[in-house]
Chains A and B, each alone.
Chain A
Amino acid sequence: MIPLTSIRRGSFRARGALAILAAASLLGSAYAAPDQSAQGAQSGPKVAARRLSEDQYRQAISDIFGPTIKVGGRFEPEIRRDGLLATGSGQVSVTASGLEQYDAMAHDIAAQVVSEKHRATLLPCKPADVKSADDACASQFLGTVGFLLFRRPMTNDELQSHTKIAGDTARSLHSFYDGLGEALATLIESPKFLFLKQGAEPDPDHSGQFRLDSYGKAIQLSLFLWNAPPDRQLLEAARDKSLETDHGFAAQVDRLMASPRLERGVRAFFSDMLGFDEFSTLSKDPVLYPKFTLKVVEDAREQTLRTIVDHLLTRHGDYRNLFTTPNTFLTTRLGSIYGVPVTARGGWPDAWVPYTYAKDDPRAGILSQISFVALHAHPGRSSPTLRGKALRELVLCQKVPVPPANVNFTLVNDVKNSQFKTTRDRLTAHRTAPTCAGCHKIMDPIGLAMENFDADGGFRTTENGVSIDTTGELDGMKFDSPAGLAKAVQSDPAATTCVLQRTYEYALGRPLGKGDNSTIKALSDEFAASGYKVPELLRTVARTDALYAVPRMDLSLNTPGAGAVGAAAPTGETR
């Protein structure tokens, strides 16, 4: 551990290199070997380490210290693997610049927590003298928050070393709170917080096999249903081993399912599944699409998430009808693009108003929303190919091959071509090239049915003065409008299989393997029996033993990037 006694007063918020060295030291030790001195913590090997996403980090800080603690800074980019960011989170580490950011954020957060504004409510004790060290008070506080930050009780060594940091710094700076802040910052920038490490233990029900230990199970459950690290109640259930009992486990699943935080988890899952991280780079040519402001981008994402939550959770609707539901929510800005009047009380532009499309309206379901048709289009023109690809990959979980490197897009991009006036015309000509035809025929017939939707999501019937033909086909199902496509997706078994697969992968934190087939089959049957109700699916997945099983091979992995757990249970049984 780097001695911190030489740190000057008031400088702990931005101590840059020194703190980074300290954090790097922590990183190195964290992955060198399993924790050996845990008191009540996991005693088995670490089998998985997923890096906290930005949302999870923010939520953790908010849950532990309250929403008034601000989190500022840049987070490490997340990586999408096999269709999900969640499955990429076990494949990433922290870069040097990322470590700097985590260090700065940790010190900023710690400074807020120990500030005069917050210390009275967030700290359980007061020091005997604010100008000197108080190991008892520091230890009490660090042990309490360390339990929540590390998702397990701190070991004696950990608590002592962090208490020592608090004491050394306090003596050096003549400030108990500066010392405590420094110690807290080292907790927050620790890989034990930044990485959701899960430990394993022998599975008493399956001789020779392993399963997640109680704390690992709590992490698995909480990440899946709440997109957040476990709260104190769940961690306490892990500590007192009640999570190991059928009754105790079921009670926690019920609690998490009944919590308002489930909505946050559902939002996170569908944001991941639908690729909403692409919103961060979404923009349109302001000359061609003057209505497409940054606020519209924000609203578009929120519109679809509201539609999903309303349909799946509030109305308890059939997942398949998400593609045809006439119910949604609009702001005045979205109304301007969709071409419908939206008034909110007081003219508040950010207000959300429930909206129901008429039966014969061409727009219904989430595929007709800006979050799909604009997100999967070019800045200056629509794209049947991108839309078809997105629908195949995101909604139906089908892989579309990567285009060859030498494709000539000149004709496709020539939106003013006098001979090929519509996108359909241009794509038809483009597909005459044999190297292009193979892939385009699985994307374009889908996307062409959405050509009524311009690149910003607005409705149109002509392109360059020519009527738009919206006939299309999805795996043999023919249609002639966006609504027809929506109905085809609604009735496509691949759509329900896909959301099931993604849900399970999201919960596991890794893509499916061959050993998961039996579990998927069992889940699929239950999903169908429920009438394709997503809350039932979430509950079933959460209670699937396989979600907490550990593949034998993972026992040798003990570093970041080890991926996630969840081996196929022999029967895919649930409890």
Chain B
Amino acid sequence: MTGSATPHRMRARSEFSSGEHELKLKPIKGRQLVLGLAAVLALTNSANAAAAETRSFVVNWFYLASYFGEGDCPDGLNPSAAEFYRRDLQRAGHSKEEIDAALKDFPGEGGAPQPWIPLVIVRGNGKDNIYAAPETAPDPRIKLVAGRFGYGFNLDGLGDKSPNSFEDPNTHERGINNQLYRALSCIRGFRGPASSGGPTKSNLDEVHWDKLREEMPAFVISITASNGFSTDGDVSIVIGRALETITRDASGANVQSGMTYTLDPNPRTRNVLTGHLHQGVISAASKEVNLLADNYIVNAFEFEKAHLRLNLKPDGTLSGMIGGYSPWYPLYHGMTVGGYVEEYASSVDLPGVYYALKKLADSDPDPATKENRAISAAYAIDAVPAFVLELGRQQSASLQPSPTDPKGQGQ
């Protein structure tokens, strides 16, 4: 492995043409890392290759793009687990005495008796696991987001004529489709602090992602601007999964920047998009984007009619959103892995979630049943600079001095 100093000159053989492009990368701006990504570079126009610039990132946070603000849940939040368990057990025919006995000292953590568990697991028909067979219980009609604002994308292209759509609280774009947010965000566990200037992560999203990113290979993004990032123009984006897992920084709360990742070449999780850079904001769309995750919590994040919007921030990090129509049942199934723990710890009424997702799904109708199988969704992305290399094309480059200096100390 050898290093080079600025300006970097990297040689990358294109997958898509027979030519060999010698690429001169511009010095880094902000605290960003610049490196070659052969496949991405190959997408750029060879005539402009000399001006191409690539920035790569590893995803730090990935969470449901939620808006928490006045009027989002006008009827209040959904009941706590103790409340909906009592309601469901009552409906299932248990006597008040039985219910009182079961829920005495609820939830009974730390080794204390938890007599409620066997009851709530089969609270539909008394025998089947309710998480696997939520239809055994009637729809509890959980409260849904009914506010004006929400984050996401205008997926159906109908703009302000889109039914049940939101308005972006910051850009005031109308026709935002994000029914997943509508379904979940009046549930206590899916609440977070009041939004200010962008999507907010809920408590559960934070817990889920923090666990997920620890266990699965990292999500990485590599963006190549054909004319450099200081000029508006076309960009190509690779978003996918790496072969390596993340490394946490000294705080333990965030992903360490500057680490090196290798893109997983598996086409199931490697997505190439074309888009446009305008005043530091990158927009792109694709028929679909698939990101394999981890079987335990979320098997995959899948988006049909995918949209991507990313902001290159002055400190060198990246923030934005990815959205599209996601198959809703896998999302529900991911939550059922936690089962009653998810329910009692975060007040997630899983049968209620099942019915809400089914009801709010707004795309991909089943040919037989005509019921929609996908739901509009949007996830917020926060990412930090990283080196992202193609497998078998490991290259090296030297970090260049940072002209901007967020902490006043350089680097």
Contact = CB atoms under 8 A, between A and B. Distances in A.
B411 interface: yes
A340 B396 contact: yes
A465 B397 contact: no
B244 A347 contact: yes
A349 interface: yes
Interface string A460-499: 1111110010000000000000000000000000000000
Contact of A349 (B2, B247, B409, B411): B247
A514 B405 CA distance: 52
Nearest to B33: A339
Contacts of B396: 340-342, 355
A362 B5 CA distance: 8
A341 B402 contact: no
B35 interface: yes
B401 interface: yes
Given A293-B249, A332-B259, A341-B389, 4 more contacts: A332-B247, A346-B243, A347-B262, A452-B401
A354 B3 CA distance: 11
A297 to B, nearest CB: 10
B403 A341 contact: no
Given A290-B250, A356-B3, A341 B35 contact: yes
Nearest to A342: B260
Contacts of A347: 242-245, 261-262
In this complex, which of A288, A290, A338 has the most chain B Cβ atoms within 10 angstroms of its Cβ?
A290
A337 B387 CA distance: 12
Given A332-B259, A336-B257, A358-B398, A468 B243 contact: no
Contacts of A357: 2-3, 398
Contacts, number: 148
B370 interface: no
Nearest to B56: A341
Contacts of A185: none
A339 B33 CA distance: 7
Interface in B386-411: 387, 389, 394-405, 407-411
B24 to A, nearest CB: 15
Interface string A350-379: 000111111011110000000000000000
A63 to B, nearest CB: 36
A361 B400 CA distance: 10
Contacts of A358: 2-5, 398
B251 A356 contact: no
A291 B257 CA distance: 7
A342 B247 CA distance: 13
A51 interface: no
Given A286-B251, A361-B3, A336 B389 contact: no
B256 interface: yes
B258 A337 contact: yes
B411 A284 contact: no
A460 B251 CA distance: 22
B408 A335 contact: no
In this complex, which of B4, B5, B250, B389 has the most chain A Cβ atoms within 10 angstroms of its Cβ?
B250
Contacts of A335: 258-260, 387
Interface string A171-209: 000000000000000000000000000000000000000
Contacts of B400: 339, 459
Interface in B20-46: 33, 35
16 contacts: A286-B250, A292-B250, A333-B256, A335-B259, A339-B33, A342-B260, A343-B394, A349-B247, A357-B398, A358-B5, A361-B3, A361-B5, A455-B409, A458-B399, A459-B411, A463-B405
B368 interface: no
A289 interface: yes
A343 B260 contact: yes
A381 interface: yes
A22 interface: no
A356 B2 contact: yes
B250 A458 contact: no
B401 A290 contact: no
B112 interface: no
Interface in B244-303: 244-245, 247-251, 254, 256-262
Contacts of A411: none
A291 B387 CA distance: 15
Interface string B124-137: 00000000000000
A381 B409 contact: yes
A415 B408 contact: yes
Contacts of B47: none
A465 B402 CA distance: 10
B86 to A, nearest CB: 45
A528 B48 CA distance: 55
A288 B407 contact: yes
Given A416-B408, A452-B401, A462-B405, A290 B5 contact: no
B398 A290 contact: no
Given A340-B397, A343-B389, A355 B2 contact: yes
Given A347-B244, A465-B405, A340 B398 contact: yes
Interface of A: 284, 286-293, 332-333, 335-343, 346-347, 349, 353-358, 360-363, 381-382, 415-416, 452, 454-456, 458-465, 468
In this complex, which of B243, B256, B261, B262 has the most chain A Cβ atoms within 10 angstroms of its Cβ?
B256
B410 A460 contact: yes
7 shortest A-B CB distances, which residue pairs?
A: A339-B399, A460-B410, A336-B258, A347-B244, A341-B387, A461-B401, A286-B250
A340 B3 contact: yes
Contact of B258 (A339, A346, A349): A339
Contacts of A338: 398-399
Contact of B1 (A353, A416, A459): A353
A459 B249 CA distance: 18
In this complex, which of B256, B261, B403, B409 has the most chain A Cβ atoms within 10 angstroms of its Cβ?
B409
B394 A460 contact: no
A286 to B, nearest CB: 4
A335 B33 CA distance: 12
Contacts of A293: 248-250, 256
A390 to B, nearest CB: 20
Contacts of A458: 399, 410-411
Nearest to A348: B244
Contacts of B2: 355-358
Contact of B411 (A340, A346, A360, A454): A454
Nearest to A337: B258
A354 B1 contact: yes
B397 A341 contact: yes
A240 B256 CA distance: 59
B249 A286 contact: yes
Nearest to A330: B1
Contact of B262 (A343, A356, A454, A465): A343
B399 A463 contact: no
Contacts of A460: 401-402, 405, 409-411
Contact of B256 (A287, A336, A342, A461): A336
A341 B410 contact: no
Nearest to B401: A461
A162 B403 CA distance: 70
A117 B401 CA distance: 56
B259 A336 contact: yes
B243 A340 contact: no
B405 A291 contact: no
Nearest to B410: A460
A463 B407 CA distance: 9
A459 B399 contact: yes
A468 B261 CA distance: 31
A338 B397 CA distance: 10
Given A358-B3, A460-B402, A291 B256 contact: yes
B410 A291 contact: no
A471 B247 CA distance: 36
B1 A332 contact: no
B409 A288 contact: yes
A456 B397 CA distance: 20
Nearest to A468: B410
Nearest to B35: A341
